[in-house]
């Protein structure tokens, strides 16, 4: 359906402005402008088959779009019930809209608006935990998927093991029927299914974790074992947790986004999601209870996602984090803005090149082409992906994004100076004070611990770097490696001496290019 000419759009927007109190809903779908794509199926005939935990921006711009495509193609039993374990914000926004929302796909060529109907209902765990557990225990639920952020797994980032001292885990072991954590809810529902003789659902992590399927399975087994060894064994034997690689850049929605989308629709959408044209989903094909016909919607089904996951985490996410910390310190608000600085763009490319040599990809994989596409995506002028947003939860992200590459490079006798500058950027960032002495709003599960370490060490690289490298939950034993300590301390000293802009300006690519 072709986009209307500008004059028609202006006319449409004007005629609809007086209907500004109109709200996106089932009843108003036929009032949308003709160029806005809407669900091509009868939502009333769709049954839910998926419960998704973490109904945030990424799920709604990625997995829910795939399911919407499959519903359009005729599937009827893979609708989504979206749950939030933390707040009612998403439900408050979407319930009045019959859970309809807009995906605004932005690029330099313009914006495409698409209404998604695959989320059928929402749940707020804290207001009714029993209802969510019942949903997940219902035999019609065959997949429980997750985008709960790296910290939602209540694990130790460096090891991937359950953190049994995590406050939510301690609470959930004491209150198994009124859990707070994702592991708590999943195990409570699985226990209910086991007791009823119902086969388990498949657990599908869509978070940026290393080996996300294996990690979530380990965490579920360890949590369940603490409740009952028999339950832990049942989960180990019966529950499938395929790993996935997920990719679509989805910045946090702003009020300006809400206003722009609502103006385009001629009606209010309280929580649209903003994204890029690119999307990719690679999934291990291990769904004993059945799955949607993912391939029909362009999802790649593989036996082992590992190489693709490493490629994405170590090239895209690593350079994203590098740009986030050093770009923020240099005064850039968004990734696209940071990429307008050629030296930062070159540095991001250097991070990708240094990671590429650690990958074992299928024959014919074009890593140079993949890196080039990443640099283009990062430079998308239509996406305002804030460096501050990507800088969040760095203690949960560094191991799979930067440290794994550094360990592999050192094993190969290769320098790690490029990645050391990215780690130094994180260290400088978590001090909580920027290069002008202004406070940084550091969001991280261990932000207070990091700030305390920085305060004791003071603004001296030779003290701060070793102190942070001793944070075992992030660096583990690798933090003791003298080559790592030397490279990171040197990088931090340069960063503190020159400032981010000049330190990146002075950066040069690693000499040993394989
Ligand atoms: P968001 O902030 O929109 O949603 C995060 C969701 O996680 C919310 O529903 C929130 O309630 C839930 N959550 C947060 N902390 C939690 C906890 N401790 N326990 C349980 N649930 C918790 O963020 P968004 O953009 O949806 O990203 C979520 C995750 O999706 C990311 O952390 C990442 O793992 C993955 N992802 C995000 C991409 C993006 O560009 N935004 C792209 C690829 C993957
Ligand atoms: C970002 C990711 O916020 C972050 O940490 O690096 O969410 C990134 O946008 C996605 O992984 C892209 O697929």
pLDDT, tens digit, for every residue of 154-202?
999 999 999 999 999 999 999 999 999 999 999 999 999 999 999 999 9
- Ligand 2 contacts CB of residue 323 (under 6 A): no
CA 279 / ligand 2 centre spacing (Å): 12
Over residues 310-320, mean pLDDT: 98
pLDDT at 5: 43
Which ligand has the shortest distance to the CA of 146? Answer: 1
93: CB partners within 8 A, 6+ apart: 101, 270, 271
Q: Does the C-beta of 248 come closer than 6 Å to ligand 2?
A: yes
Are 22 and 100 within 8 A, CB to CB?
no
In the structure, what pLDDT confidence band is assigned to residue 20 with cuts at 50, 70 and 90?
low
- Does ligand 2 have an atom closer than 6 angstroms to the CB of 311? no
* Residue 348 predicted with pLDDT over 70: yes
Query: What percent of the chain stands above pLDDT 70?
Result: 96
Average pLDDT, the chain: 95
Walk me through the domains of the chain, giving residue ranges and CATH numbers.
44-101+117-252+287-302 (3.40.50.720), 306-506 (1.10.1040.10)
User: What values do phi and psi take at 423, rounded to 5?
Assistant: -65, -40
- Ligand 2 geometric centre to CA of 246 (Å): 10
Q: Which DSSP helix (H) or strand (E) runs through 6?
A: helix 6-17
- Residue 277 Cα to ligand 1 midpoint, Å, equals 20
Q: Is the pLDDT confidence value at 511 over 80?
A: no
CB 28 within 8 A of CB 267: yes
Ligand 1 neighbourhood includes 149 CB (under 6 angstroms): yes
Ligand showing the shortest atom-to-Cα distance for residue 445: 1
pLDDT digits (tens, 9 = 90+) for 252-298: 999 999 999 999 999 999 999 999 999 999 999 999 999 999 999 99
- Which pLDDT band holds residue 10 (cuts at 50, 70, 90)? low
Tens-digit pLDDT profile for residues 128-167: 999 999 999 999 999 999 999 999 999 999 999 999 999 9
- pTM summary value: 0.95
Q: Which of 249, 309, 325 to probe ligand 2 with, by most ligand atoms within 8 A of CB?
A: 249
For 413-451, b/e burial (b = at least 16 CB within 10 A) is ebbbbbbbbbbbbbbbbbbbbbeeeeebebebbbbeebb
Residue linked to tokens 């914000």:
89
User: In this predicted structure, what is the pLDDT of residue 413?
Assistant: 97
Which of 62, 275, 317, 396 to probe ligand 2 with, by most ligand atoms within 8 A of CB?
Answer: 317
Mean pLDDT (whole number) for 294-311: 98
Ramachandran quadrant class, 243 (left: phi over 0; alpha: psi -120 to 50; beta: rest): beta
DSSP 399: I
pLDDT of residue 4: 42
Nearest alpha-carbon partner for 431 in 409, 449, 461, 454: 454
Q: What percent of the chain has pLDDT over 90?
A: 95
Q: What is the pLDDT of residue 21?
A: 81
Query: Is the Cβ atom of 113 under 6 angstroms away from ligand 2?
Result: no
pLDDT, tens digit (0-9, with 9 covering 90-100), for 444-497: 999 999 999 999 999 899 999 999 999 999 999 999 999 999 999 999 999 999
Looking at residue 285, what is its pLDDT? 98
pLDDT in tens, 64-73: 999 999 999 9
Grouping H, G, I as helix, E, B as strand and the rest as coil, residue 30 is: helix
């Amino acid at each position: 359906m072709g986009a209307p000419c500008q004059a028609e759009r202006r006319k449409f927007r004007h005629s609809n402005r007086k209907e500004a109190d109109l709200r996106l809903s089932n009843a108003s779908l036929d009032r949308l402008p003709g160029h806005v794509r809407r669900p091509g199926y009868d939502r009333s005939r769709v049954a839910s088959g998926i419960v998704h935990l973490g109904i945030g921006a990424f799920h709604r711009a990625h997995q829910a779009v795939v399911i919407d495509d499959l519903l359009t193609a005729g599937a009827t039993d893979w609708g989504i019930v979206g749950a939030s374990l933390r707040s009612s914000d998403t439900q408050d926004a979407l319930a009045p809209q019959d859970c309809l929302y807009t995906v605004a796909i932005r690029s330099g060529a313009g914006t495409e608006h698409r209404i998604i109907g695959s989320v059928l209902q929402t749940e707020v765990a804290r207001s009714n935990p029993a209802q969510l557990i019942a949903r997940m225990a219902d035999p019609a639920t065959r997949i429980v998927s997750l985008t709960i952020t790296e910290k939602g797994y209540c694990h130790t980032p460096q090891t991937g093991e359950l953190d049994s001292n995590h406050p939510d885990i301690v609470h959930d072991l004491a209150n198994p029927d009124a859990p707070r954590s994702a592991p708590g809810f999943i195990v409570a529902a699985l226990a209910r299914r086991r007791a009823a003789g119902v086969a388990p659902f498949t657990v599908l992590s869509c978070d940026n974790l290393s080996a996300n399927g294996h990690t979530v399975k380990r965490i579920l087994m360890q949590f369940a074992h603490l409740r009952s060894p028999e339950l832990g064994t049942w989960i180990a034997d019966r529950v499938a947790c395929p790993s996935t690689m997920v990719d679509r850049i989805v910045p946090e929605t702003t009020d300006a986004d809400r206003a722009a989308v609502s103006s385009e629709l001629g009606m209010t959408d309280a929580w649209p999601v903003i994204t890029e044209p690119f999307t990719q989903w690679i999934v291990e094909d291990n769904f004993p209870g059945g799955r949607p016909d993912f391939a029909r919607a362009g999802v790649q089904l593989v036996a082992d996602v590992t190489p693709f996951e490493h490629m994405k985490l170590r090239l895209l996410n690593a350079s994203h984090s590098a740009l986030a910390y050093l770009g923020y310190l240099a005064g850039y608000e968004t990734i696209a803005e940071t990429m307008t600085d050629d030296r930062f763009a070159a540095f991001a490319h250097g991070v990708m090149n240094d990671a590429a040599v650690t990958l074992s990809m299928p024959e014919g994989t074009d890593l140079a082409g993949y890196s080039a596409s990443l640099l283009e995506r990062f430079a998308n002028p239509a996406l305002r992906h804030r460096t501050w947003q990507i800088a969040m939860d760095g203690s949960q992200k560094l191991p799979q994004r930067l440290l794994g590459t550094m360990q592999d490079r050192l094993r190969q006798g290769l320098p790690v100076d490029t990645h050391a500058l990215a780690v130094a950027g994180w260290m400088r960032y978590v001090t909580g004070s920027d290069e002008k002495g202004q406070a940084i709003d550091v969001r991280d599960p261990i932000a207070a611990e990091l700030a305390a370490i920085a305060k004791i060490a003071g603004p001296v690289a030779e003290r701060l770097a070793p102190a942070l490298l001793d944070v075992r939950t992030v660096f583990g034993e690798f933090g003791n490696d003298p080559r790592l300590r030397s490279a990171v301390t040197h990088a931090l000293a340069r960063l503190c001496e020159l400032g981010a802009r000049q330190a990146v300006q002075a950066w040069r690519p690693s000499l040993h290019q394989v």
